[in-house]
């Protein structure tokens, strides 16, 4: 998110707009955005409904839940439900006709496209 925040002006100059979507409650999303001084909105996706439509959700297995509990990460509080479901990180470019023109996702949350890849797509050939 911080990398996208740094390239926000370039994204806008290339004709793009930017929003993040999170299953965290609206108040947690606001806090997250404020703490990181994000220049774009973080929208609340209750119950991962939008992420489900894109086929991006997964359910955290019990051993991982125990690790989170041990780290005192209260996912149930953050997300406002007891599903233990999370979205895979993904990035989409959706045009004004609501057609997806670019999509990138990976089940490994550590693998994310560089903002430059999205900028190159937005700038076109």
Which has more confidence, 81 or 112?
Answer: 81
Tokens of 20: 């993040």
pLDDT of 36 over the 80 cut: yes
Tokens of 109: 């949350």
Query: Could you tell me if 105 and 91 are in contact, meaning their C-beta atoms sit under 8 angstroms apart?
Result: yes
Query: Could you tell me if 18 and 4 are in contact, meaning their C-beta atoms sit under 8 angstroms apart?
Result: yes
pTM score of the predicted model: 0.82
The domain segmentation of the chain, as residue ranges, is: 2-57+86-118
User: Looking at beta carbons, which pairs linking 89-92 to residues 24 or more positions away fall under 8 Å?
Assistant: 90/54, 90/56, 91/118, 92/54
% residues pLDDT > 90 (the chain): 80
| Domain 2-57+86-118 indexed as CATH 3.40.50.970 | no
The SS3 assignment for 90 reads: strand
């Amino acid at each position: 998110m911080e990398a996208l925040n740094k390239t926000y002006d370039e994204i806008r100059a290339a004709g793009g707009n930017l929003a993040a979507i999170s299953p965290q409650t609206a108040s947690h999303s606001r806090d997250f955005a404020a703490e990181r001084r994000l220049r774009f909105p973080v929208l609340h996706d209750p119950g991962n409904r939008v992420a489900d439509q894109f086929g991006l959700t997964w359910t955290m297995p019990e051993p991982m839940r125990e690790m989170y509990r041990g780290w005192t990460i209260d996912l149930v509080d953050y997300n406002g439900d007891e599903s233990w479901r999370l979205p895979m990180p993904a990035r989409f470019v959706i045009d004004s006709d609501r057609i997806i023109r670019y999509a990138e996702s990976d089940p490994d949350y550590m693998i994310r496209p560089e903002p430059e890849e999205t900028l190159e797509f937005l700038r076109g050939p």
